Structure 1
């Protein structure tokens, strides 16, 4: 265990402060001191250096400027992805508010979809979820997006980014991403009666499916539920879902099989392996390649199990 802990601590500040807080239960002043380094060292500092004078990254809202859809995978360099990374890494939002990021994006950033204003969101529930979470974090007015989720929740209790194309059945991916945004909003503001109820219905959508099964067959919806990829990006896995429920403080017996899948994926040395990064352009890599022990996944799985077993 000591060797595993030392291995995890030998990492970027964006990961190290979470190890200190969530696994070692270090005093608050210790992990806060490490967390503050995100702005000046490693991944956080490198990504901050890529922000343009217009407040954007790569000149675009969700896609980099000039993206034509011909390259492999989804580019992960534009504004929404960069803000989400910095938020998840624990950057102090004051760093970006001092740069007037909210105001700059309000003035000059538009969604690739119909040129809609950035902080108003668009029609994709995953994109709206990240924008809701990032907006709450930075103090932008995103209450309209929170209400959007109530209005666009499907009959089965979840969400689907393909609702614009007529889909009426929820998606595991879209539902989890929507729930994450609603949770950030609720934890920061208390939410509204309607948004809290929508999140509870969304929780139930995943829980009644045991986080990975079809209701119709009681079989896994796909092999991808047990493939753990870091960074999570938009992708669904039982580990990603369990992290959400951990953050929400919701422990439900219907999660037991999913937790067992996470436990069974642990290697003999106590690590979890990278299933493979989502393909696409990045500013820089933050994790290992497929088949290698991942510090990010190991941290995530260890704290999920620690929470579940407590």
Structure 2
């Protein structure tokens, strides 16, 4: 079976992105397929898991309202909103509008009781919030200002800055880069673009995976491909960001592209290499097996890089 055919046998969340990014399908057909995310498969399951109070797991990020899921890290409102965005839930759909309104009305951060869309304190959490806010059409300018003020001297961000860290981290930086890219789509503030470029430079100076000081791989986990990525960095996530902002592939990205290409299996698919720990609402496939998400993302990165896929 052709890999494209195998991908098209997957969830609507996979199919509409394959149609758009690999098959260059008619936009109307893509929109029709995307609309199914709210009604079928993974998207419908996530929406159905919302509690009677209008949020997931009873809170924003670290709630314990569901006794059958004690200490769950990936089942709460902030994480499910991110997952629905990754699936491609149409923000104009009635389902998305209802979710946004309920979260605005009910959800507050556990950190200090702040209203959800006003953000938290950590750059990685606020990065996801901004990316989600832009996707769902919620103004998040105040959170963007907070992120702009948290940029570090080396050009990136680090959630441990408040605990004394003076160097950026790959994990925090990729989350904020995605946020800056999202905000650029709805604002002409030059500071947002400049911040995005500085964060990208931080990663690219390190080849997207190596320490600038020693040339060693920063973390072997950065070479393992996951979906959803949660707060974790990996080379495919970085390349997906660069593809999405229309960057021109260059030699600074070459090793990371080679890493992704090298993980392709004999049948043309890519496996899921890691599932980040903790309970989750949706099982996106077993570790070590061919995975539609990783395959879709790898194929569109290689296509962007000018390789024959």
The TM tier, using the shorter chain, reads: over 0.9
1:192 has 2:179 as partner: no
RMSD between superposed Cα atoms in Å: 1.8
CA contact (8 A) 2:90 2:96 kept: no
Are the structure 2 counterparts of residues 123 and 67 from structure 1 closer, same or farther at C-alpha, using a change threshold of 3 Å? farther
1:306 has 2:303 as partner: yes
1:122 has 2:120 as partner: yes
The equivalent of 1:154 in structure 2 is: 152
Normalising by structure 2, we get a TM-score of: 0.93
1:216 has 2:213 as partner: yes
Give unmatched runs, 5+ long, in structure 2.
none
Normalising by structure 1, we get a TM-score of: 0.93
Report the alpha carbon displacement of residue 139 of structure 1 after superposing the two structures with TM.
Answer: 2.2
2:231 equivalent among 222, 231, 234: 234
The equivalent of 1:296 in structure 2 is: 293
Q: Which deviates further from its counterpart, 132-141 or 152-161?
A: 132-141
Report the alpha carbon displacement of residue 191 of structure 1 after superposing the two structures with TM.
Answer: 4.3
CA contact (8 A) 2:123 2:147 kept: yes
Report the alpha carbon displacement of residue 233 of structure 1 after superposing the two structures with TM.
Answer: 1.5
CA contact (8 A) 1:64 1:77 kept: no
Are the structure 2 counterparts of residues 98 and 216 from structure 1 closer, same or farther at C-alpha, using a change threshold of 3 Å? closer
Q: Distance in 1 between matches of 2:24 and 2:35?
A: 17
Paired residues for 1:1-310 under 5 Å: 3-66=2-65, 75-94=73-92, 95-96=94-95, 98-99=97-98, 101-187=99-185, 189-251=186-248, 252-285=250-283, 287-309=284-306
Report the alpha carbon displacement of residue 218 of structure 1 after superposing the two structures with TM.
Answer: 1.2
Report the alpha carbon displacement of residue 64 of structure 1 after superposing the two structures with TM.
Answer: 3.3
Q: Deviations over 1:86-116 (max 9, x none)?
A: 11211111324542x3343333211111112
Are the structure 2 counterparts of residues 236 and 283 from structure 1 closer, same or farther at C-alpha, using a change threshold of 3 Å? same
